[in-house]
Amino acid sequence: MQARELQLSHLNTARQVLLEPYGLDEIQLMRTLSDIFSHRVDYADLYFQYTRSEGWSLEEGIVKSGSFNIDQGVGVRAVSGDKTAFAYSDELSPAALGAAAASVRSIAAAGQVRGLKTEGFSSAASARALYAGLDPLASLDSTAKVQLLERIEQLARARDPRVVQVMAGLAGEYDVVLVARQDRKLGPLLAADIRPLVRVSLTVIVEHNGRREMGSSGGGGRFDYAHFNDERLNQYVNEAVDQALVNLDSRPAPAGPMTVVLGSGWPGVLLHEAIGHGLEGDFNRKGSSAFSGRLGERVAAPGVTVVDDGTLAQRRGSLNIDDEGNPTQCTTLIENGILKGYLQDSLNARLMKTAVTGNARRESFAHLPMPRMTNTYMLAGERDPQEIIASVKDGLYAVNFGGGQVDITNGKFVFSASLAYRIENGKITYPVKGATLIGNGPDALTRVSMIGNDLALDPGIGVCGKEGQSVPVGVGQPTLRIDGLTVGGTSSG
């Protein structure tokens, strides 16, 4: 289905799910927006959402818990200058919509102006067709979902007798959104999206000679449960069990400044946290980012190019439209080491006098949108990954990461490696445990000395938190060599 046809199909579905059952129509939406604009307002939007989600989890051989939720409602926002008023309701009705609109009008009640002429909505003609508008929850019945989790456990226990515990989870979401907006300069727009999302997660614990270690894996994206065939489940199981078994032989991690080689794929989460958040428009408009006011300056080593791309088909972080109805795009943030741009929603783009990048995101109708990442990754270089490892005399090879923290104002980060190895004289020698990477995001970018040709994206597991809101994201990178990064560990050498 072409993008234009898909958008019309999504609009019809959104009308049937979010408007018609509750006595609402597009005329009502336009009147509501026009009423808000009877005051001195620059921008207003109505964000309708219907979400059906489920989660299943298996532990000790049985499915111990399951959840099923339905959420729906509308968020109403008005923006005047740099001020925002917001109200939301989990009731969909003309009365509830009118009450929410009356609440946000107070932002500019003192400066009444003539309202805008009521006219028809235009639609998002350039919307994407990145994923099918399907309901993943309906792609398997309950029995089959339980069997899928049981299959994961069977595969994990059959993989190695040292596996003593398996914890597996299955999650799915069907999300229908409708955005009706009015912009004093751009006029009215109506856009809709149908967003499927699924994920499998797996954690295994192995035990040998009284020592226990853990490994994890999983994946997902914007498709249905048919994605999780036996081949893919075997892949997840092998990754998790192999990681746990490697950790059985791990030694205490060294500590101190050293050369660090980051693996491709999921280690891009360090890039996301330590650098990506600092490139979001709101932090830079307010001057609180380490990258504020540095457009056109060198902020990274030559060869470092970082993009945020919301247009990758079926990826977890991708969107046909953002949560203001704008088509997503691929935005170059850093090009060959030079800072080229920030991620923008409509509010921050207008105040910074720059273009919207399609990065307005919100957790739900009950939350305000803000500039957020989609799929953020560094482009590949020309070096063979084996050449990069062979170039390191004494260092650390970090293949996978667990949690991490970053301070947006100065870029300082701390990340724990869940799978890492010692590099000695250009060879990977033994696994280490307890390694943490400590540094400063902008500084770390300048220390990149080699970039691999093996760009990979994460398997579809990323969740990003910002100001109490969580959204699905993607990360990625090629193998990287970073010189002089501080490693926190439990060994002196």
How far apart CA 215 and CA 238 sit, in angstroms, is 10
Residue 293 CB neighbour total at 10 angstroms: 9
Q: Which residues of the chain have pLDDT under 50?
A: 111-118, 492-493
Q: Using DSSP bridges, classify how beta strands 480-488 and 256-262 pair: parallel, antiparallel or unpaired.
A: antiparallel
Which pLDDT does position 271 carry in this prediction? 86
Handedness of CA 218, 224, 227, 230 (dihedral sign): positive
Dihedral (C-alpha) 349, 334, 195, 237: value to the nearest 10 degrees? -150
Label residue 19 left, alpha or beta by phi (over 0 means left) and psi (-120 to 50 means alpha): alpha
How far apart CA 104 and CA 424 sit, in angstroms, is 62
Label residue 251 left, alpha or beta by phi (over 0 means left) and psi (-120 to 50 means alpha): beta
Assigned token pair, 405? 């923290």
Contact 437, 405 (CB under 8 A): no
Tens-digit pLDDT profile for residues 22-51: 999 999 999 999 999 888 899 999 999 999
Assigned token pair, 465? 């938190």
Contact 159, 11 (CB under 8 A): no
How far apart CA 453 and CA 388 sit, in angstroms, is 10
pTM: 0.94
Q: Using DSSP bridges, classify how beta strands 187-208 and 122-123 pair: parallel, antiparallel or unpaired.
A: parallel
What is the full DSSP assignment across 345-403?
Answer: -HHHHHHHT----S-EE-SSTTS--EE--SEEEEPP-SB-HHHHHHT-SEEEEEEEEEE
Contact 243, 419 (CB under 8 A): yes
Residue with tokens 């989460």: 269
Dihedral (C-alpha) 334, 339, 345, 349: value to the nearest 10 degrees? -150
How high does pLDDT run on average in the chain?
Answer: 92
Which pLDDT does position 407 carry in this prediction? 81
Which pLDDT does position 469 carry in this prediction? 95
Which pLDDT does position 98 carry in this prediction? 93
How far apart CA 459 and CA 446 sit, in angstroms, is 27
